[in-house]
Amino acid sequence: MSLNPAELNTLIADGRTEALFTLMLDQLDGPWNTRKAVRSGWRVLQRFLDERGASLLQPLDADAYQQWLTREYRGVVASTNNRLTQARKLYALLIAAGVTDTNPFEGQAGQHNPAERRRRAYPPDDVLELLAHSGPEDAVLVLLGAHAGLSGPEVSRLTWAHLDHDLTTITVTRPPTPGRSVPCSAELQQALAALAEARGATPLLGQRPSGRVITLPHSADALTDTQLRARIYRICERAGMPYRAWQALRNHAALRFLRTHTRQEVMVLLGVHSLTALLPSIRMQQENPPDS
């Protein structure tokens, strides 16, 4: 669908950016969840502009926006870089639609984000702090990553039927590969029992919850990757600590597993199929042996 530059300019001038973003979103390819994440980035940019009484039609200082993002995301480079990329995409679309001829983010590379920083792990004390600021469901969420080492999609798909009766083992399914068994730590077992009780289960009578373990309010849908990251981000905010991605929880689990299992066994527990995927955790273990 061709876009009318005059109509788009009117939407921006009238402050109807949500309508503008809806039209721009139709110009993007890719899965719906990915496009929604891009729109989320556009909304962040609009919040920055609103705080300054500015608009998309006015000159924008890309460096100022990057500095603002760095404060907003507490120095998390990946989040800042993602928002810059999304802003650059928006202006590219506005240029293609004839609304502007300048992309303030052209050539804005963001910050260097080396692999060792992306692959960091939550330290043990930070995991304890996250748990201290979590309700029953968020505590299970944190421990599914930090102790069981489940991936984000595996957590989103997890149902109570994947747990054995005593809450000691999780049968993880990841189509099309066969399921694997992952032990629940004592802390995870206690958190699962507390969550089951919070949902009205009565284990002594043989009753347990059904459906997904990690839920969305008023919905039976699985969490998207974006929603999962948002949950962890909010827990980090409550705990007053820098946000680290879900992989950092998985890395914490890998370090725990490496203390008591062989590398081959850890690969099985994490559901990875090559030693290369485990090497960052092995290096972290060698460089910074965990205390607990």
| pTM as predicted | 0.63
In Å, how far from its chain's centre is CA 240?
17
Sorting pLDDT into bands at 50, 70 and 90, what band is 292?
A: very low
Burial class (CB in 10 A: 0-12, 13-18, 19+), 41: buried
Q: pLDDT value at position 121?
A: 85
155 vs 4, higher pLDDT: 155
For residue 5, the tally of other CB atoms under 10 A from its CB is: 13
Calpha distance 275→284 (Å, rounded)? 14
146 pLDDT above the threshold of 60: yes
The helix or strand, by DSSP H or E, that contains position 186, with its residue range, turns out to be helix 186-198
Counting Cβ atoms within 10 Å, is residue 207 exposed (0-12), middle (13-18) or buried (19+)? exposed
pLDDT digits (tens, 9 = 90+) for 191-221: 999 999 888 776 555 677 888 999 887 777 8
Q: What is the pLDDT of residue 131?
A: 96
- Tell me what percent of the residues of the chain surpass a pLDDT of 90: 52
Q: Which two tokens stand for residue 138?
A: 């968020």
CA distance 172 to 155: 9
Choose the most confident range, by mean pLDDT, from 60-74, 92-106, 128-142, 275-289: 128-142
> Do residues 230 and 33 lie in contact, with contact meaning Cβ atoms separated by under 8 Å?
no
- Is the CB of residue 122 less than 8 Å from the CB of residue 146? yes
Residue pair 142/134 in contact (Cβ under 8 Å)? The answer is yes
